[in-house]
Amino acid sequence: MNAWRGHVAILMANVIFGLGVPVTKALLDDWVTPMGYMASRCVGATILFWVVSWFLPREHVERRDLITILLGGLLGFFISQTLTAEALKYTTPVYFSLVAALTPVSVMVLAAIFLKEGITGLKTVGVILGIGGALLMLFTSWSGGTGSNDLLGISLAVLSVLTWAIYLIITRKVSAKYSSVTQMKYVFLISTIVTVPLALMTEPQQRLYSEAWQWSGVAEMAFIVLFATGLGYFLIPYAMKFLKATTVSIYTNIQPVVASLVAIAVGQDVLTWDKPLAGIMVLLGAYIVTMPDKHEAK
């Protein structure tokens, strides 16, 4: 009944994440190292969510659930996003988005193994359509540019996708019990505790936080902290209150479509026949996957 709220939330989250990929690449190229990038996100999001939590009703989190949330934070944010930042250091956003499009397959297989969720023929068709749309757009729009070490970058991206898929699986139940703010304040707290000491020990010098800083870099980091981290990670557990992990993951395929549309809008790409077709395939795939059948409650 309330599933539409989950669909809207996860759609917004993936549009934001799609915008965040080129912004992250710009930050890594010009302003911060991967660990400096992660430390900035963690500290900013921790402050944001704890301040917001002061104005909301306080929730008591059971000890077992808190452990799940903290473990999920280490997997779904610290490890997954650190791998993402490292991957984008070595490969292009196009390659990274191509790998990220495999997220629904990872989640579907893991959900079948650990949660005993059935893999129906209709759901398989939806996933294939979604990934097919993403691959169509990526293959036809790729102009041949390569990163400094694509093999390493793609390998790191695969690990990032796998840890993200595990995060979606293990936090499914707690996402239905607690508010997004309650979950995220602990997710980013544990991530900050781990990330900041590593950043200070290994990469203390960040151009963004030196005399060479510019407002463009500040604006890019503000977008990542406030939207790609704060709002995006608020919307994910909110969506998981109403949707299955496999359903949430299918929306990942929207990210490369968003990246393409942004590139066209700013003159970095041109509109070709494949882009609207890819968008239709991705959204149709998401719709088919989320359609309930006789074996599913939603």
Q: What is the pLDDT of residue 66?
A: 92
Give one DSSP letter per residue of 56-81, joined into a string.
Answer: S---PPPHHHHHHHHHHHIIIIIIHH
Question: Over pLDDT 70: what percentage of the chain?
Answer: 80
Residue 128 phi, psi (nearest 5): -65, -40
Question: Over pLDDT 90: what percentage of the chain?
Answer: 14
Stretch 109-119: mean pLDDT, rounded? 71
User: pLDDT-based confidence at 297, cuts 50/70/90?
Assistant: very low
Q: 243, 6 in Cβ contact below 8 A? A: yes
- Of the two residues 81 and 290, the one the predictor is more confident about is 81
CB atoms within 10 A of CB 201: 9
Residue-wise pLDDT for 34-57, tens only, equals 888 989 989 998 999 999 899 888
Total-model pTM? 0.74
Place of tokens 């870099």: 217
Stretch 16-36: mean pLDDT, rounded? 86
What average pLDDT is seen over the chain?
79
Task: Please tell me the distance from the alpha carbon of residue 205 to that of residue 207, in angstroms, as a whole number.
Answer: 7
Q: What is the pLDDT of residue 275?
A: 60
Task: Please tell me the distance from the alpha carbon of residue 221 to that of residue 44, in angstroms, as a whole number.
Answer: 10
